[in-house]
Structure 1
Amino acid sequence: MNLSTQLHETAAKFTSKPAFIFMDHETSYAEFDHAVTQFADGLQSLGIKQGDNVALLLGNSPHFIIGLYGLFRLGATAIPVNPTYTPDEISYILKNGDVKAVITLDLLIPMFEKMDRMLPSIEHYIICPSEAVERPIPEDLLISGKMKSFTKIFALGSGTFIEPKTEDEDTAIILYTSGTTGKPKGAMLSYRNLYSNARDVADYLGINENDRVITVLPMFHVFCLTVSLNAPLLNGGTLVIIPKFSPKDVFHAAKKYEITLFAGVPTMFNYLLQYPEGNTEDFRSLRFCISGGSAMPVALLKNFEEKFNVIVSEGYGLSEASPVTCFNPIDRPRKPGSIGKSIIHVENKVVNELGEEVPAGQVGELIVKGPNVMKGYYKLPEETAAAIKDGWLYTGDLARMDDEGYFYIVDRKKDMVIVGGFNVYPREVEEVLFAHPDIAEVAVIGAPDPNLGEVIRCFVVSKKPSLTEEEVIDYCKERLAKYKVPKSIDFMEELPKNTTGKILRRALKNAVLQQS
């Protein structure tokens, strides 16, 4: 069930067909399969072996796909990381993930030069160009012997690599997701998890060799990994890779390559809808669109479908489930506001606090079971036991199911905020703000936003009356990824609390909702 092994079969069947297109350059399945083998062999020549953990800090590019599948072919474990994270966030994941090598962008060389002493387990930095022309690595970094170009590692491979045998339950990838304690947790996904979810999503949505998919969601994000990358490649489809989302580029690619499938978060659909030069004709080849990452407003869904005459199938997933568990069917009636029905081989149900299934229409916690459910959290046995009980993954999301088997997310059991499709936990931001010398108390919530779905809003009790909103936001910018930075700061004399002294985030959120 190793996706990289499966690639051999796909390449044999679709030898000359483009596997992906990047910057108007086509790479066939045969070329892709050969490149994966050669890169795996190059990694092995560095001493990277089966079971080693290797991080990928890359944007959307052939380097990411070849690197990912090369690691699968080698039997090493891939750890995709958002390259826009701050040094502290990246450092934590690399240390906690016992990373031996990093495949990263040349733009991040200065950061790793400063961080290297704090990362003793890392033996190699494999540098990829951030532009079309590869830039040389500075000589002072080459002296360390740790930094090598992707091209040189690729050249080390002979193409005669002998693949090690991988087991279905071996860990293929570790996806770090924010934890309620403020520290990210690494969800371990096996080869079976990744393969089964790619297969089942493709079967449910009918993704096949005739599909041309815009791959513009971040490849380091699990939504893209399964829906816009693994599922199409598993079935002989073609990826049209866009490095960074822009409505102009999406419309251009859709028309030029007669795109049949687009997957995005609601924010992207909103920008496409509002783009003045958006042409309905550019989307005429689309079979359907997929929305995930956060709930899509019903009005946005209807307006998008009406303007572009295309179906939008909304679904649900989480990193711990590889990620997809539900989708609205594309061949049967869809229900706006619903996350759809269980996909093939995956079971969803709504339960009470005792784990008992509740009747249709009643609210409870959504739990999931299937071959897509993670092995557990890396080095966190207690958190794993709390999340997976009797084979069921407890999502922490409150939901209800109607009498036709359609599920609806009602609320999040945990106080997670989704900013443009990215998960942010309030505690993570609060931990940063609590470290500020002039802040006494802080509470973080998600506030509605027409473009991003939600944004971070902070309520602060200051020790220093002169502390300004700008100072607090600048403080956060230095320590948090861009999407985690608060949009606004509200200064208060005191925060609402219950009798035990616990801050009442719900009271703050209700107040914000009343204002909007």
Structure 2
Amino acid sequence: MSEQVLEQQAQLYARLDAELGIDSHCDLGRFEHLVAMAEHSFAEFPDRPAFSSLGHTLSYRDLDRLSRQFAGWVQHCTDLEPGDRIAVQMPNLIQYPVVTLGAMRAGLVIVNTNPLYSEREIAHQFNDAEVKALVVQANVAQTAAKVLPRTGVKYTIVTELADLHSPFKRFLINNVAKHVKKMVPPFDIPGAIPLNDALKAGTDRPLLPVQTARDDLALLQYTGGTTGVAKGAMLSHGNVVANVLQVDNMLETQPLDRDHSVTVQPLPVYHIYAFMTAMYSMLNGAHMVFIPNPRDLPSVVKTLRDYKPDIFCGLNTLFMGLCNNEAFRALDFSNLKLTLSGGMALTHAAAERWQEITGCPVSEGYGLTETSPVVSMNPGNRIVIGSIGLPLPGTLVKVVDDDGNALPPEQPGELCVKGPQVMQGYWQRADETAKVMDAEGYFRTGDIAKIREDGFIQIVDRKKDMIVVSGFNVYPNELEDVLYEHPDVLECAAVGVPDETSGEVIKMYVVSKSGKLTAEEVREFCRRSLTAYKVPKLVEFRSELPKTNVGKILRRELRDGEA
């Protein structure tokens, strides 16, 4: 029965692809690795704008030259070798593609690091990945400086906001940030190298050939997986290249002018969703405009006004915030052809409001860090609101019951994914990898979904315990592990509570030993070890927490009580 269901599903998707003009047999091996894809764009589109931020633009020729200089510094001024890990910790700045592409040209593996990470989170990631080099923005270097002595990092490169601007603008923007706005706390990192010094040192250095294979690691992208401590998803060059080409193929169904495409990207490029869209933009010689702080809605509106994009990337929280902004509603949206949504569930209200104001429908997709990230998306010629669309070309999906049997249409079960974008596994965690990969090579997402009669996929429920705050995954085990270190905490459990602004907020249930612990004391204790969005907004004290007969705390019972 299970094989019959999969065969019927395969026939359905073949028919849908034919109807919608999706080439399910597209060449996913067009490029051997990300460097080859980037160098293709450098050669094909040298004079087109590539990336912009804070009012300055790099062309593809600039990106080629600067990333080559960074690779030159790596190869000739350090003892870093291909395969070594380099952490990149910065928001959406044009320095990001320069550093990441330069590092990959030298054969290094990128470890994307959230600039908002706490000392504890940085230390875990750097030590787990055995990071040997770090590129960090000066604004957040103070936290990294406290951690570095406890890691194996040998080289630290520091960049300021406007390092790649013209000399006058660089001086003006960097000094205003440092001395007027006080955005750069003092820090001390012995031997730290300014980014521009590294680029200068790499000038005119020959780029030594690196033999990069499809299966070589490109990224260690950290995620909680389905639960627990953050793990590094091993994404190969082949994984990411395949996903870029899969998305490119699916976007053939959208009304885009590939030769004059402008994308505004407010989502953080260290997140795999935004990283992949940056690679997609490069593939087509497009222009991507970074927004360093998407919470600054006036800057988002100004960027949209100045650049008039035809592609906008966002998520439900941002769509709602912008739609409630008077200046946004007054913009000219005549160029906007595609709005992409991912990272959290898209609500009907947000989709309808966005289309009403902009005239552009929202195309929702679905993905995970472990799938590089995109699994499915709505094609431009058939958008079904409330669904995550159709599987990308070359991607197999199935919905299974608790025994692993494939389920027929309309029956909910765990969504499983197989395809060239699925990760190689979790870094140095074979046991965790075995928990999420089945014998046939399917990745078990932990999400409950159903495949509708029309073939579109619909998420029914999220991973059982994961909390999504403004598109960021938060894992209860991590929060509870931190709070259990408090001497007055006997028991605790974290759950997500629905919130109109951020999708969910974190609520922590606590049993205090003394009965005197306060909510603010709980939050303050969490702030010492956790990024701001992981700090519980709500705290409720109880005399005991619900448990199974073997003593496991029942988060679901607590969560259901909030419904």
Tell whether the structures are fold-level matches, with TM greater than 0.5: yes
Aligned residue pairs, count = 508
1:154 counterpart letter in structure 2? L
What's the counterpart of residue 94 of structure 1?
126
Unaligned runs of 5+ in 1: none
CA distance, structure 1, for counterparts of residue 524 and residue 88 of structure 2: 28
Residues 386 and 209 (structure 1), Cα distance of their counterparts in 2 relative to 1, 3 Å cut: farther
* 1:388-467 matches, cutoff 5 A: 388-389=437-438, 390-467=440-517
Unaligned runs of 5+ in 2: 1-31, 163-169, 179-183
2:68 counterpart letter in structure 1? T
Which of 201, 226, 235 is residue 189 of structure 1 equivalent to?
235
Residues 473 and 403 (structure 1), Cα distance of their counterparts in 2 relative to 1, 3 Å cut: same
Q: Any conservation in 1 of the 2:122–2:147 contact (CA below 8 Å)? A: no
CA distance, structure 2, for counterparts of residue 114 and residue 509 of structure 1: 37
SS in 2 for 1:213: strand
1:353 counterpart letter in structure 2? D
- Shifted more, 384-393 versus 288-297: the winner is 384-393
What's the counterpart of residue 384 of structure 1?
433
1:25 counterpart letter in structure 2? H
CA distance, structure 2, for counterparts of residue 110 and residue 305 of structure 1: 42
CA distance, structure 1, for counterparts of residue 160 and residue 340 of structure 2: 31
1:273-318 Cα shifts (integer Å, max 9, x gaps): 1112223543221102011111011111111111221110011000
CA distance, structure 2, for counterparts of residue 512 and residue 339 of structure 1: 26
Which of 16, 37, 46 is residue 15 of structure 1 equivalent to?
46
What's the counterpart of residue 67 of structure 1?
99
1:231 counterpart letter in structure 2? Y
Which of 74, 77, 86 is residue 43 of structure 1 equivalent to?
74
Instruction: Tell me if 1:303 matches 2:353.
Output: yes
SS in 2 for 1:512: coil
Which of 214, 228, 235 is residue 168 of structure 1 equivalent to?
214
Report deviation, 1:179. Answer: 4.6
Report deviation, 1:467. Answer: 1.2
What's the counterpart of residue 271 of structure 1?
321
Q: Any conservation in 1 of the 2:93–2:161 contact (CA below 8 Å)? A: no
1:430-466 Cα shifts (integer Å, max 9, x gaps): 1111111111111110000101101110111111222
1:488-516 Cα shifts (integer Å, max 9, x gaps): 10011111122222212111111111xxx
CA distance, structure 1, for counterparts of residue 144 and residue 356 of structure 2: 48
Report deviation, 1:347. Answer: 1.7
Q: Any conservation in 2 of the 1:180–1:428 contact (CA below 8 Å)? A: no
CA distance, structure 1, for counterparts of residue 263 and residue 463 of structure 2: 34
Q: Any conservation in 1 of the 2:229–2:477 contact (CA below 8 Å)? A: no
Q: TM-score, normalised by structure 2?
A: 0.87
1:53 counterpart letter in structure 2? R
CA distance, structure 2, for counterparts of residue 43 and residue 381 of structure 1: 31
What's the counterpart of residue 148 of structure 1?
193
CA distance, structure 2, for counterparts of residue 474 and residue 243 of structure 1: 27
Q: Any conservation in 2 of the 1:3–1:234 contact (CA below 8 Å)? A: no
1:63 counterpart letter in structure 2? Q
- Shifted more, 461-470 versus 75-84: the winner is 461-470
* 1:105-120 matches, cutoff 5 A: 105-119=137-151
Instruction: Tell me if 1:31 matches 2:62.
Output: yes
1:82 counterpart letter in structure 2? N
CA distance, structure 1, for counterparts of residue 391 and residue 479 of structure 2: 33
* 1:107-506 matches, cutoff 5 A: 107-119=139-151, 121-130=152-161, 132-133=170-171, 141=188, 144-145=190-191, 147-157=192-202, 158-179=204-225, 182-206=228-252, 208-227=258-277, 229-245=278-294, 246-332=296-382, 334-389=383-438, 390-506=440-556
SS in 2 for 1:277: helix
CA distance, structure 2, for counterparts of residue 53 and residue 435 of structure 1: 31
What's the counterpart of residue 181 of structure 2?
none
CA distance, structure 2, for counterparts of residue 46 and residue 152 of structure 1: 13
What's the counterpart of residue 54 of structure 1?
86
1:187-216 Cα shifts (integer Å, max 9, x gaps): 000001111111111221236332100121
Report deviation, 1:249. Answer: 2.1
CA distance, structure 2, for counterparts of residue 140 and residue 391 of structure 1: 46
SS in 1 for 2:233: strand
Q: Any conservation in 1 of the 2:395–2:417 contact (CA below 8 Å)? A: yes
Report deviation, 1:222. Answer: 0.5
SS in 1 for 2:506: strand
Report deviation, 1:140. Answer: 9.9
CA distance, structure 2, for counterparts of residue 492 and residue 453 of structure 1: 25
1:86-111 Cα shifts (integer Å, max 9, x gaps): 00110000000000011101233333
SS in 2 for 1:395: strand
1:264 counterpart letter in structure 2? G
Residues 138 and 337 (structure 1), Cα distance of their counterparts in 2 relative to 1, 3 Å cut: closer
Q: Any conservation in 2 of the 1:54–1:79 contact (CA below 8 Å)? A: yes
Q: Any conservation in 2 of the 1:2–1:72 contact (CA below 8 Å)? A: no
Q: Any conservation in 1 of the 2:262–2:287 contact (CA below 8 Å)? A: yes
2:426 counterpart letter in structure 1? Y
CA distance, structure 2, for counterparts of residue 506 and residue 114 of structure 1: 38
1:301-341 Cα shifts (integer Å, max 9, x gaps): 11111122111001100000000001111112x22211111
Report deviation, 1:15. Answer: 1.5
Q: Any conservation in 1 of the 2:399–2:407 contact (CA below 8 Å)? A: yes
Q: Any conservation in 2 of the 1:202–1:232 contact (CA below 8 Å)? A: no
2:195 counterpart letter in structure 1? F
CA distance, structure 2, for counterparts of residue 233 and residue 162 of structure 1: 23
Residues 494 and 100 (structure 1), Cα distance of their counterparts in 2 relative to 1, 3 Å cut: same
SS in 1 for 2:445: strand
Q: Any conservation in 2 of the 1:182–1:431 contact (CA below 8 Å)? A: no
Q: TM-score, normalised by structure 1?
A: 0.95
